[in-house]
Amino acid sequence: MSNLIRANSILPAHREEIELHTADGVTLVGELARPMDREPVATLVCLHPLPTHGGMMDSHIFRKAAWRLPALAGLAVLRFNTRGTGSVRGVSGGTFSSGVDERYDVAAAIEYAEFADLPDIWLVGWSFGTDLTLMYGLEPAVTGAVLLSPPLRFSRPEHLAAWAADGKPLTALIPEFDDYLRPAEAQTRFAAIPQAEVVPMAGAKHLWVGDAENVLDRIVGRVAPGVPTPLPRSWDGPMEMGDMNAYADRTVAAFSDVEVPQPQRE
């Protein structure tokens, strides 16, 4: 019997709680989800939105990626809380550093994926996570990156120039009604990276509420082009249901009600 995949549907996968250990001595909590019955075809390392505005490893796009993509697309999904960030999984050590010391968090996640022999590592950043991707994601083990709602707030022109020079593939999904960077301006800003693909997402907003399926389809289409998309919207096998109260989407906070921390300049 085929069951509709809903927001709280959890499809079969091998899931394990993990810890990341940074070069500056901080322990981060996370989870690795892998396909149950096959080797992954590619790997997503998820960098979440701004923790001061509710961003965490359980932010809804990344939660749904971990709950669905191992089964539907054969992907491994590594998600974790950056320093000082908490979720149902736990609270990572350290304190929020406005994108400075988070460099060690990104490096630890990539290193974990590499040492775990996970294939074809792609960074998927969302909002603040896109700045971390642009600033710290150009590691040899990384194949490329997908950016969701990039505000280009913490990253600088020299980071864009570095991606341009390196040539790694970069795809930016830009909501039509984004709070910070809309498609026309994004085309101009990302022109600094010739290989960057800027994809306007009609009707979408910064938090992707109601657009998770479209976002996951785009991610899979980029990192695993051999997997047919759109992904199935129903599942014939076993399915669990997550506790939506436990996974309350704190990312859907009113951004305008909280002052956004500014980048710390050295």
Bridge partner list, 43: 76, 121
The SS3 of residue 205 is coil
Q: Give me the pLDDT at residue 254, please.
A: 35
- What is the per-residue pLDDT for 66? 98
71 Cβ partners below 8 Å, 6+ apart?
A: 11, 12, 13, 35, 36, 235, 237
User: What residues are paired with 2 via a beta bridge?
Assistant: none
Residue 215: C-alpha distances to residues 39, 69, 112, 126 (Å): 23, 12, 25, 11
Q: What is the pTM of this model?
A: 0.93
The values of phi and psi at residue 258, to 5°, are -130, 135
Distances in whole angstroms, Cα of residue 145 to Cα of each of 16, 30, 43, 156, 232:
24, 20, 11, 17, 24
pLDDT digits (tens, 9 = 90+) for 22-61: 999 999 999 999 999 999 999 999 999 999 999 999 999 9
The Cβ of residue 250 has, within 10 Å, a number of other Cβ atoms equal to: 17
DSSP letter assigned to residue 177? T
Q: For the chain, give every domain's residue range.
A: 11-256
Partnered with residue 92 across adjacent β-strands are none
The pLDDT tens digits of the residues spanning 146-172 come to: 999 999 999 999 999 999 999 999 999
**Element of type H or E holding 125:** strand 121-126
CATH of 11-256, one of 3.40.50.1820, 3.30.413.10, 3.40.50.150, 3.40.20.10: 3.40.50.1820
pLDDT in tens, 54-83: 999 999 999 999 999 999 999 999 999 999
pLDDT at 265 over 70: no
In tens, the pLDDT along 195-246 reads 999 999 999 999 999 999 999 999 999 999 999 999 999 999 999 999 877 6
- CB count within 10 Å of CB 240 equals 10
Q: Which residues pair with 198 in a beta bridge?
A: 172
Is residue 263 pLDDT above 80, yes or no?
no
